[in-house]
Every structure is written in C-alpha cells, then in structure tokens.
Amino acid sequence: MRRGRFTGYWLMLPAALWLALFFVIPFYSLLATSLYDPEGSVLTGYDVTYHFANFVDALDDFWEPLLRSLWYAAVATAICLVLGYVLAYAIAFKAGRWSSLLLVLVIAPFFTSFLIRTLSWKLILADDGFVVDTLQFLHVLGDDSRLLATPVAVIAGLVYNFLPFMVLPLYASLEKIDGRLIEAAGDLYASPSRGFLKVTLPLSKPGVIAGTLLTFIPAAGDYINASLLGSPNQRMVGNVIQNLFTSTGDYAAAGALSVILMAIIVAMVMVYIRTAGTEELV
C-alpha cells in the first residue's frame, strides 16, 4: 500500500522529462543567449555576462519589424477569423453529407510542405500572373502595380497558411452546438441574425479564442511568407532573427529579440484571455 503513494509522481515522470527536454532546457538556453556578451562571436564563443542592455539594443534596432510582425499577424488573424468562421459555419451546419469531404479539403494543404505552398502563391500572385492581370483589367490595380513584394501578398500568404488553424477549432466548437438551441432561440423570438449573435456566436467562443491564438502566435513569428512573398520593406521579426542567427552570427541580439517577441506574445495572450474570459468555456 505504501508503495502506491508515489505512483502518481512516477507517472508524471515522462511528461516532466518531456517538458524539461523540449521546453525548460531550450527556454533557459534561449534566455542565456539573450544575455550573452555582445562582444563574443560564434567562433570565439559567447559568455553569459547578464548583458541586459541587449534587450534595449534589440528594441532600439528592430522595433520596426517587431511592430510590423504584430500588425501583420493581427490583420491576418482578423481576416482568418472572418473567412474561417464562414467556412466552419458552412461545414458544420450547411454542408450535410459533404462536411467530411470539406474538412479533408481544409486540411489538404498540409499534405504539401509549407514552403512549396508558399512558393506556389508566388506563382499565383506573379506580376504577369492571372490574378494581377485580372485585377489590372478590372482597374482594381494600376497597370504598373503588383501584388508580390507588398504587404497584401505577405498578409494573404499568412492568411492562407494559417487558415486551417482557425477553421479546425472553430469547426470543433460549432459542430458541438446542439441544433435545438438554435431552434429554441428562433422559438423565443430571435430572428436568425439575433439567434446567431446571442446563441451560436457565444457558444463558439472557445473555438474563436483557440483559433485566434493558434493563428496569431505562429503568424507573428513567421518568416517564410515575408521572405518569399514580401520585399525587404515587409521583413518581419522572424526574418530578422533568422538573419541574426545564421548570417550575422549575432547570437546575443537574436536571442534578445526572440525573448522580447516571446514576452510580448505571452503578455498579449494573457490580456486577451483575461478580457475574453475563459470561465464560460464549458
């Protein structure tokens, strides 16, 4: 009997090891990197000198791509939310027997690599491609303008790549809604639009929260879309970090910037969850 008292703790061991190996150690390593002596180099080595000025320097040098990342990610998340909601709603309530097929289609892009998908957007949005041609024909775009290498292309890429992360949680929470609740709302004098606002939307809130987080967080840290679909003027913080790590070898600045990005995202997520409220998430 006495031996059983510690069984629970032993069962936690795999999870704890996993956390230590894939979260705690990398996190400490990153934190240490952000406090490196900036005078070091990849070859001569870096010492942890608690050089907190790295954070100030990184903010000072890279506040622009940092803000741009948050802005692009926010816009992309908003667009994903609108598109994803319509899509998830249609699949959950209107698609009938087609719903599983549509769900597979939502996930289908994952069958190809992220890189290939983004590269194919480059072809679609090409200056001589049919999208630009059509928009020019319709005079939405001027004859000399383009989509590639503009914020539109980068945000479109983010929306495309992260839409499934929005659709799936939204679908999961919409699909769970008892259809009789919507009938009940109608029975209780709520027009379809009021019924949506007062019943369907609040009940899908867990999906909205999960979807926006799953979209915003990776979008804010993404660098593939900006580097393939954007120009140097659309660089996001991910590109800067990647450059600092691989080309410049400035580990201290790269680490500081990564920690700053992480801190900003954690803070935003906490404020968001507190305002949106999770106590109702049944």
Partner 1 sequence: MVNARLSRRAALRGGAGVLLGGASLGVLPLFGSPDRKQDPDSCRARDLSASQKRLVVSNWPAYIDEDDDGYVSTLTEFEQRTGIKVDYTADVNDNLEFFAKVVNQLGSCQPSKRDMFMLTDWMAARMIQVGWLQPLDRTKVPNLHANLIDSLKGVGWDPDRTYSAPWQSGLSGIAYNKSKVKEVRSFEELLSRPDLKGRISLLTEMRDTMGLTLLSQGADPSDFSGDEWDDAIDRLRKARSDGQIRAFTGNEYIQDLSAGNILACEAWSGDVAAAEDENLVFVSPEEGTMIWSDNMLVPNLATHQGNAEKWIDYYYEPEVAAKLAAYVWYICPVKGAQEAMEKVDPTLVDNELIFPTAESLKTMHSFMALEEFQIRAYEGDFADVIGG
Partner 2 sequence: MSLAADRASRSLRLTALTKEFATFTAVRSLDLEVPAGSFFALLGPSGCGKTTTLRMVAGLEVPTSGSIHLGDDEITYEKPYRRPVNTVFQNYALFPHLDIHENVAFGLRRRKVKDVDRQVKEMLALVELESQAKKKPPQMSGGQQQRVALARALINRPEVLLLDEPLGALDLKLRRAMQIELKRIQTEVGLTFVHVTHDQEEAMTMADTIAVMNGGVIEQMGSPAELYENPRTTFVANFLGQSNLIAGSVASAEGDVVRVDMHGNQVSIPAERAHARSGEGWVGIRPEKVLLAPAGEPIDAPGNHLTGGIVTDVSFVGVSTQYLVQMPWGQELMAFEQNTGRRAVLAKGTKVDVSWRPEFSFLLPASQDVNAGVLEEA
Q: What residues make contact with partner 2 under the rule CB under 8 A?
A: 178, 180-181, 183-191, 194-195, 198-199, 202-203, 205, 280, 282
Q: What are phi and psi of 179, to 5 degrees?
A: -55, -25
Q: Which is nearer to partner 2, 164 or 206 (CB)?
A: 206
Query: CB atoms < 10 A from the CB of 19, how many?
Result: 13
CA–CA separation, 163 and 83 (whole Å): 8
Name which of residues 78 to 137 contact partner 1 (CB under 8 A). Answer: 119, 122-123, 126-129
CB < 8 Å & 24+ apart, contacts of 36-40 = 36/251, 36/252, 36/255, 37/252, 38/250, 38/252, 38/253, 40/251, 40/252
Q: Which is nearer to partner 2, 122 or 205 (CB)?
A: 205
Give the shortest CB-271-to-partner 2 separation in angstroms: 22
Does position 42 bind partner 1 by CB under 8 A? yes
Q: Which is nearer to partner 1, 102 or 135 (CB)?
A: 135
Q: Which is nearer to partner 1, 117 or 205 (CB)?
A: 117
Stretch that binds partner 1, among 4-12, 73-81, 198-206, 237-245 (CB under 8 A): 237-245
Q: Which is nearer to partner 1, 160 or 223 (CB)?
A: 223
* Residue 189 site contact among partner 1, partner 2, none (CB < 5 to 8 Å, cut-off depends on kind): partner 2
| Residue entry with tokens 């969850």 | 273
Give the shortest CB-18-to-partner 2 separation in angstroms: 33
Check residue 231 and report its DSSP letter: -
CA distances from 264 to 256, 259, 261 (A): 12, 9, 5
Give the shortest CB-185-to-partner 2 separation in angstroms: 7
Give the shortest CB-33-to-partner 1 separation in angstroms: 7
Encoded tokens for 160: 């495309």
CB < 8 Å & 24+ apart, contacts of 168-171 = 168/106, 168/107, 168/211, 169/206, 169/207, 169/210, 169/211, 169/214, 170/84, 170/85, 170/88, 170/89, 170/204, 170/207, 170/208, 170/211, 171/88, 171/91, 171/92, 171/103, 171/106, 171/207
Question: CA end-to-end span of the chain, whole Å?
Answer: 37
* Residue 137 site contact among partner 2, partner 1, none (CB < 5 to 8 Å, cut-off depends on kind): none
* Residue 186 site contact among partner 2, partner 1, none (CB < 5 to 8 Å, cut-off depends on kind): partner 2
Q: Which is nearer to partner 1, 136 or 243 (CB)?
A: 243
Does position 46 bind partner 1 by CB under 8 A? yes
* Residue 190 site contact among partner 2, partner 1, none (CB < 5 to 8 Å, cut-off depends on kind): partner 2
CA–CA separation, 262 and 201 (whole Å): 30
Contacts to partner 1 by CB under 8 A: 28-29, 31-33, 35-36, 40-48, 50, 61-62, 64-65, 119, 122-123, 126-129, 146, 148-149, 231-233, 235, 239-240, 243-244, 246-251
